[in-house]
């Protein structure tokens, strides 16, 4: 395939700003695409929290952004994705992005998120025109960039960007960016686009829906999730739109960044390890984790780790409900890292007080601790109600920590069910079906029994997980193929 010009526009990019797995994907897929020979570039907002250190330099010309009724200007900063030549541009605008947070401040979602992200979309396209770099494909991500495909189809149709194809990836259908129709005027989108087969939902603008209707091709982050979102149960009100666009929608499993998540090279671990040294390596990490979270130092207790946003989507209320019963009847410890729902944060703090030495909790965001939990736990708990792809279960397997997951979305596509005593031996983790505390309880019991009664099978399971290839090798090629289809489809329309 001839090299393509591919522009990623995203509100989060690892290692610059991260809220969840979207950042990991946008920080790693471009590396894999660049390695395949494509000219990939990334644009994100310069939030107040972005550290514009000496690796960044300001571009000399201010960027005019065609939004609102008066002139809007941005300062553009430029750097590269660390360890690559992939250019990264950050748009600075004090009024819209000067705040430190991405989506929400202490009082909840920023009320001007519609305008902030409309500015990102239009600013990204204006920057392409300014630097005279016309992408073959714009790859947009989630509701914040839903207006991009719409802008390409309408306002910018008769500019040099009119032939640019768009690919829109759904990382999480739950968040749709409902907002007032003022955003259409602000972004200079024709008012006629306020209709149900474009942007309108229930009298408001739905930014995600705009992306779903207007992108040349759609993807989501796992094959199973691609099926689930076409059903009323998993479609969050947009299943009919997704069925309408089914021919253009595919699920491509996210890869992980094997350099950032490699137990053999991980500076966060006391003793990095590979398959041959997994037992001593994990034992050292377990001890260090127990010390760090104030757990009893015990090499022979089954330790369950969690690294997650505290949200009901992640099924952590099931953990909260089952935890006292598990601790009552099973010889286990829990190590939790996360933040989000204040009720869950408080519940887990109480659990740590009620079960000292057996429950360790860190409320907050801590990348280094997240690596230590992946390595030091015996099992990784992820009972998600819905999971578009999920990355942490893949990190866990790479670190020799069998995940215990609910059978949903990307968890089905990545975690193979362990079958006790099977020949040949199979499975990289434990899956359960019902989103209930008893189902979770039983599966924790199953994992515990494996830990205490079948250590050789557990060891073999660890090695099978570590052997799995979760890199971008396969998925980047699938995206490359999809971009080719998108470009061909777009050119045939213009
Ligand atoms: P989601 O995007 O739904 O939050 P994923 O599993 O796809 O879930 O990605 C979550 C990412 O965020 C992973 O890289 C995980 O390690 C990281 N993460 C989540 N919570 C924390 C936390 N409290 N501290 C550090 N990293 C976290």
329-378: pLDDT as tens digits: 999 999 999 999 999 999 999 999 999 999 999 999 999 999 999 999 99
> In degrees, to the nearest 5, what angle opens at C-alpha 363 toward C-alphas 359 and 365?
130
Mean pLDDT across 104-127? 94
Q: Which ligand 1 atom is at minimum distance from the Cα of 391?
A: 6
- How many C-beta neighbours within 10 Å does residue 491 have? 11
Look at residue 493 in the predicted model and tell me its pLDDT: 82
Q: Give per-residue pLDDT as tens, 307-326.
A: 999 998 999 999 999 999 99
Position 107 confidence tier, pLDDT thresholds 50, 70, 90? confident
Structure tokens of 110?
């920023």
Instruction: List, in order of start, the domains of the chain with CATH numbers.
Output: 5-255+473-492 (3.40.50.2000), 275-469 (3.40.50.2000)
Between 2 and 153, name the one with better pLDDT.
153
Q: Give per-residue pLDDT as tens, 454-487.
A: 999 999 999 999 999 999 989 999 999 999 999 9
Distance from Cα 363 to the centre of ligand 1, integer Å: 13
Q: Which ligand 1 atom is at minimum distance from the Cα of 22?
A: 2
Q: Which ligand 1 atom is at minimum distance from the Cα of 19?
A: 12
Closest CA to 147 of 205, 217, 88: 205
The rounded percent of the chain whose pLDDT value lies above 70 is 100
Is 87:80 a contact under the CB 8 Å cutoff? Answer: yes
Distance from Cα 425 to the centre of ligand 1, integer Å: 31
- Position 494 pLDDT exceeds 80: no
Q: Give per-residue pLDDT as tens, 403-413.
A: 999 999 999 99
Check whether the bond before 90 is cis (ω within 30° of 0). no
Mean pLDDT across 66-80? 94
Closest CA to 278 of 289, 267, 288, 286: 286
- Position 230 pLDDT exceeds 90: yes
**Residue 123 CB contacts under 8 Å (≥ 6 apart), including other chains:** 43, 63, 65, 74, 91, 93
Mean pLDDT across 260-274? 97
d(CA 444, CA 304): 9
Distance from Cα 72 to the centre of ligand 1, integer Å: 34
The rounded percent of the chain whose pLDDT value lies above 90 is 95
Position 70 confidence tier, pLDDT thresholds 50, 70, 90? confident
Look at residue 106 in the predicted model and tell me its pLDDT: 81
Mean pLDDT across 151-158? 96
Mean pLDDT across 220-247? 97
Please tell me the pTM assigned to this model: 0.92
Position 275 confidence tier, pLDDT thresholds 50, 70, 90? very high
Position 422 confidence tier, pLDDT thresholds 50, 70, 90? confident
Distance from Cα 266 to the centre of ligand 1, integer Å: 17
Residue among 220, 367, 370, 398 whose CB has most ligand 1 atoms within 8 A, to mutate? 370
CA distances from 264 to 9, 277, 367, 377, 399 (A): 32, 9, 17, 16, 9
Is 465:248 a contact under the CB 8 Å cutoff? Answer: no
Is 335:306 a contact under the CB 8 Å cutoff? Answer: yes
Between 268 and 107, name the one with better pLDDT.
268
């Amino acid at each position: 395939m001839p090299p393509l010009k591919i522009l990623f526009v995203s509100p989060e990019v690892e290692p610059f700003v991260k809220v969840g797995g979207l950042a990991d994907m946008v920080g790693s897929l471009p590396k894999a695409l660049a390695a395949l020979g494509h000219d990939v570039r990334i644009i994100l907002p310069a939030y107040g929290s972005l550290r514009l250190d000496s690796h960044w330099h300001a571009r000399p010309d201010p960027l005019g952004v065609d939004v609102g009724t008066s002139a809007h200007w941005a300062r553009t900063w430029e750097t590269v994705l660390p360890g690559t030549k992939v250019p990264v541009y950050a748009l600075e605008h004090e009024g819209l992005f000067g705040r430190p947070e991405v989506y929400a401040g202490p009082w909840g979602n920023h009320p001007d998120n519609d305008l902030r992200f409309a500015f990102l979309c239009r600013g990204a396209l204006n920057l392409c025109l300014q630097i005279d770099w016309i992408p073959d494909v714009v790859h947009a991500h989630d509701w914040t960039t839903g207006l991009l495909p719409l802008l390409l189809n309408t306002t910018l149709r008769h500019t040099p960007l009119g032939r640019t194809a768009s690919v829109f990836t759904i990382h999480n259908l739950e968040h749709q960016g409902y907002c007032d129709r003022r955003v259409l005027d602000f972004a200079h989108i024709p008012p006629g686009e306020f209709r149900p087969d474009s942007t309108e939902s229930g009298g408001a603008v739905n930014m995600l829906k705009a992306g779903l209707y207007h992108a040349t091709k759609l993807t989501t982050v796992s094959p199973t999730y691609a099926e689930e979102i076409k059903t009323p149960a998993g479609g969050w009100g947009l299943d009919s739109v997704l069925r309408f666009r089914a021919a253009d929608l595919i699920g491509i499993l996210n890869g992980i960044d094997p350099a950032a998540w490699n137990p053999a090279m991980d500076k966060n671990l006391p003793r990095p390890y590979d398959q041959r040294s997994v037992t001593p390596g994990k034992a050292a990490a377990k001890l260090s984790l127990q010390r760090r979270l104030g757990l009893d130092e015990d090499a022979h207790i089954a330790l369950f780790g969690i690294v997650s946003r505290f949200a009901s989507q992640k099924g952590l209320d099931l953990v909260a409900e089952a935890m006292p019963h598990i601790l009552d009847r099973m010889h286990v410890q829990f190590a939790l890292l996360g933040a989000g729902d204040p009720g869950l944060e408080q519940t887990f703090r109480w659990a740590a007080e009620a079960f000292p030495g057996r429950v360790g909790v860190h409320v907050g965001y801590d990348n280094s601790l997240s690596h230590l939990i992946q390595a030091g736990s015996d099992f990784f708990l992820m009972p998600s109600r819905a999971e578009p792809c999920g990355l942490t279960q893949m990190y866990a397997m790479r670190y020799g920590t069998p995940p215990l997951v609910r059978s949903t979305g990307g968890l089905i596509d990545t975690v193979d069910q362990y079958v006790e005593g099977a020949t040949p031996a199979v499975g990289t983790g434990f899956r359960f079906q019902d989103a209930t505390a008893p189902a979770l309880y039983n599966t924790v019991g199953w994992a515990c029994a494996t830990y205490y009664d079948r250590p050789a099978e557990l060891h073999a399971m660890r090695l099978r997980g570590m052997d799995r290839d979760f890199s971008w090798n396969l998925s980047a090629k699938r995206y490359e193929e999809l971009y080719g289809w998108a470009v061909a489809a777009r050119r045939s329309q213009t």
